[in-house]
Amino acid sequence: MKQAIYPGSFDPITNGHIDILKRARQIFDRVVVAVAVNPDKQPLFSYEKRVRLIQELMQDDPGIEVLYYSGLLVNLVDQTGIKTIIRGLRALTDFEYEFQLAMTNRKLNDKIDTVFLMTDDTYSYLSSTVVKQLARFNGDISQFVPPLIERAIKEEFDE
């Protein structure tokens, strides 16, 4: 069985992430979406909430599992035995950072391979940050995130 880990903040998951996930599922039998618990970032959604939202969105696909991890990705690789990492690429600007990340993970565990998938160009400018900024000022985010996420963001900002 071909398996891969798709790690990220997913705060919140966007149509861009979902596009990458669907593409990954055409290549891998099982994809583990790994929500990062990052103590340096002040997230909009708790990691538990991010996991729940992604689980609900992906419930029809038994090939997708969602969990959270804290600390280093290499530790998750050790725990799960899954050595393939998926990352999405939007534009050339993503490359520098992703290259650093992939090489660092490789240095920590030389069995790790990072597979980069390119998003549909519709989503090439889309990021969680842009979605949050738009939502904060009541902008229309319906074309960037699924309805479930749109509702969750509205609820979060209303609180």
Residues labelled as active-site residues: 17, 41, 90, 128
Distance separating alpha carbons of residues 159 and 82, to the nearest angstrom = 39
Residue 119 DSSP symbol: P
- Rounded CA-CA distance 54/91 in Å is 24
Using the rule CB under 6 A, which residue among 52, 83, 87, 132 binds ligand ADP? 87
In the set 88, 114, 135, 153, which binds ligand ADP (CB under 6 A)?
88
Closest to 127 measured CA to CA, from 24, 38, 44, 64:
44
Single residue of 84, 105, 114, 128 touching ligand ADP by CB under 6 A: 128
Task: Write the DSSP symbol of residue 142.
Answer: T
* Dihedral over Cα of 18, 21, 22, 23: its sign: positive
Asked whether position 84 contacts ligand ADP by CB under 6 A, the answer is: no
Q: Identify the CA nearest to 68 among candidates 78, 60, 76.
A: 76
- Interaction between residue 69 and ligand ADP (CB under 6 A): no
Binding of residue 94 to ligand ADP (CB under 6 A): yes
Q: Residue 22 interacts with ligand ADP (CB under 6 A)?
A: no
Residue 123 contacts ligand ADP per CB under 6 A: yes
Residue closer to ligand ADP by CB (options 99, 157) is: 99
Over its C-alpha atoms, the chain yields an Rg (Å, rounded) of 15
CB of 77 to ligand ADP, least distance (A): 15
Q: Does 20 bind ligand ADP (CB under 6 A)?
A: yes
